């Protein structure tokens, strides 16, 4: 198949592109490479790869017309990045997404990288039918885009749990990755609102979910799915304790409020009923990142040479 991966140079996109290339698909990565080119260098060995260095705000019909499937991952990802770039978040996450959707033919399939983040601060168990109440610009923009995409007949939205684990384009801002980084480097984790609950998934399982759609498309078409596992709903306290068990770090409870007020639990029964399940545990991801952070210093690496 001809497959376009927008945001294919990103944390999830690069590993998704790798798996699609290994399966023999003709893969086009469309990305503006705002985080650099290094993540995709190892993919150059694949002759079935095409790179389109482009901002999705400038997409043209000719970029899309030959594609059977579009995995749409490009965007300003995460709460802090959207707060720092509110205008771009609206233009990229919402307007550019709507614009490229209107250029697609009816039969072209869009698989959207949506998020559980917009379940907000209900504190309750959320299914795909739970009313949405985003509490951040990130959640608002992602939900607006999802609603538009799901007006199409041939679309699937995957509402991912917060991802953890290692990728060639690393994200240390994601909660488990961030806490593990602090545990290894600062020897302590400072917790705000330690009882807040969130849901998590290892990056390999996230990529497996994207591939799962290709194999189960008839039963997923036109639907929204939470992607994760019921066993991976944790409070921040539980995450910190799991990290402390491996690293021996101290956990400090702060009485201050967190700016990020998300607090929810998610049910993943819908995608599980189709046969999808995760393979990696939280402990697996923590061990993996402890190995990484033993040598990897994301910001200093560029300054000290
Ligand atoms: N990582 C998570 O925990 C998580 C959870 C749920 C949903 N998602 C969604 O999955 C998608 C990918 O997330 P990620 O963690 O890989 O993020 P990322 O920031 O690592 O990747 C995003 C990619 O999009 C590219 N990009 C940004 N703006 C662009 C533009 N205007 N034109 C072209 N390319 C552009 C960036 O260069 C980057 O390569 C995002 O849409 C995000 O909202 C991520």
Query: DSSP of 199-212, one letter per residue?
Result: EEEEHHHHHHHHHH
Helix (H, G, I), strand (E, B) or coil at 137: helix
Query: Exposed, middle or buried by CB within 10 Å (0-12, 13-18, 19+), for 188?
Result: middle
Assigned token pair, 69: 């499937």
Please tell me the predicted confidence (pLDDT) of residue 232.
97
Q: Is 226 within 8 Å of 268 (Cβ atoms)?
A: yes
Query: Three-state SS string across 149-202, please?
Result: HCCCCCEEEEEECEEECCCCCCCCCCHHHHHHHHHHHCCEEEEECCCCEEEEEE
CA distance 76 to 144: 14
Given a cut of 60, is residue 304 above it in pLDDT? no
Q: Is 177 left (phi over 0), alpha (psi -120 to 50) or beta?
A: alpha
Q: Is 157 within 8 Å of 146 (Cβ atoms)?
A: yes
- pLDDT per residue as tens digits for the range 3-56: 999 999 999 999 999 999 999 999 999 999 999 999 999 999 999 999 999 999
pTM over 0.85: yes
How far, in Å, is the centroid of ligand 1 from the Cα of 89?
Answer: 11
CA distance 1 to 249: 47
- In this structure, the residue with its CA closest to atom 12 of ligand 1 is 73
How far, in Å, is the centroid of ligand 1 from the Cα of 122?
Answer: 25
How far, in Å, is the centroid of ligand 1 from the Cα of 12?
Answer: 7
Please tell me the predicted confidence (pLDDT) of residue 180.
98
- In this structure, the residue with its CA closest to atom 9 of ligand 1 is 113
How far, in Å, is the centroid of ligand 1 from the Cα of 6?
Answer: 9
Please tell me the predicted confidence (pLDDT) of residue 261.
65
Given a cut of 50, is residue 301 above it in pLDDT? no
Q: Is 96 within 8 Å of 239 (Cβ atoms)?
A: no
How far, in Å, is the centroid of ligand 1 from the Cα of 76?
Answer: 6
Give whole-number Cα distances, 72 to 28, 79, 98, 110, 124, in Å. Answer: 12, 19, 11, 7, 29
Ligand 1 nearest atom to the CA of residue 74, by list position: 24
Does the CB atom of residue 80 touch ligand 1 within 6 A? no
Does the CB atom of residue 27 touch ligand 1 within 6 A? no
φ and ψ of 219, to 5 deg: -85, -5
Structurally, at CATH architecture level, domain 2-164+200-230+261-280 sits in: 3-Layer(aba) Sandwich (3.40)
Ligand 1 nearest atom to the CA of residue 81, by list position: 19
Beta-strand pair 197-202/233-235: antiparallel
- 126-140, 167-181, 245-259, 277-291: the lowest-pLDDT one: 245-259
- pLDDT per residue as tens digits for the range 248-268: 999 998 876 666 666 889 999
Of the chain, the percentage scoring pLDDT greater than 70 comes to: 95
Q: What's the mean pLDDT when you consider all of the chain?
A: 94
- In this structure, the residue with its CA closest to atom 30 of ligand 1 is 55
Does the CB atom of residue 13 touch ligand 1 within 6 A? yes
- In this structure, the residue with its CA closest to atom 7 of ligand 1 is 115
Query: Exposed, middle or buried by CB within 10 Å (0-12, 13-18, 19+), for 130?
Result: middle
CA distance 175 to 238: 12
In sequence order, what are the residues at sequence separation of 6 or more whose Cβ sits closer than 8 angstroms to the Cβ of residue 125? 265, 266, 267
Q: Is 159 within 8 Å of 227 (Cβ atoms)?
A: yes
Does the CB atom of residue 163 touch ligand 1 within 6 A? yes
- pLDDT per residue as tens digits for the range 146-201: 999 999 999 999 999 999 999 999 999 999 999 999 999 999 999 988 888 999 99
**Bridge partner list, 41:** none
Given a cut of 90, is residue 119 above it in pLDDT? no
Query: DSSP of 106-121, one letter per residue?
Result: TT-EEEEEEEGGGGTT
Give whole-number Cα distances, 117 to 77, 83, 120, 234, 252, in Å. Answer: 11, 14, 6, 14, 25
Name residue, tokens 């990045």: 81
């Amino acid at each position: 198949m001809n497959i376009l991966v927008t945001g294919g140079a990103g944390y999830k996109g690069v590993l998704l592109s790798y798996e699609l290339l290994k399966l023999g698909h003709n893969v086009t990565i469309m990305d503006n490479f705002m985080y650099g080119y290094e993540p995709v260098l190892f993919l150059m060995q694949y002759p079935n790869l095409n790179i389109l260095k482009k901002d999705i705000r400038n997409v043209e019909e000719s970029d899309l017309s030959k594609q059977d499937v579009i995995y749409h991952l490009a965007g300003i990802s995460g709460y802090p990045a959207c707060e720092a770039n509110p205008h771009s978040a609206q233009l990229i996450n919402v307007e550019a997404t709507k614009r490229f959707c209107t250029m697609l033919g009816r039969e072209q399939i869009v698989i959207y990288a949506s998020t559980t983040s917009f379940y907000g601060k209900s504190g309750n168990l959320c299914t795909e039918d739970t009313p949405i109440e985003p509490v951040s610009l990130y959640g608002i923009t992602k939900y607006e885009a999802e609603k538009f995409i799901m007006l199409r007949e041939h679309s699937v939205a995957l509402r991912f749990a917060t991802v953890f684990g290692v990728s060639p384009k690393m994200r240390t801002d994601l909660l488990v990755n961030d806490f593990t980084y602090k545990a290894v480097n600062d020897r302590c984790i400072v917790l705000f609102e330690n009882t807040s609950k969130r849901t998590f998934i290892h990056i390999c399982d996230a990529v497996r979910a994207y591939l799962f759609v290709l194999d189960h498309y008839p039963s997923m078409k036109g639907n929204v799915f939470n992607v994760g596992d019921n066993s991976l709903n944790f409070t921040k306290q539980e995450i910190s304790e799991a990290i402390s068990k491996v690293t021996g770090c101290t956990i400090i409870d702060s009485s201050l409020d967190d700016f990020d007020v998300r607090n929810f639990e998610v049910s993943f029964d819908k995608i599980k009923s189709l046969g999808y399940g995760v393979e990696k545990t939280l402990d697996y991801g923590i061990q993996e990142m402890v190995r990484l952070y033993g040598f990897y210093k994301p910001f200093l690496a560029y300054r000290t040479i």
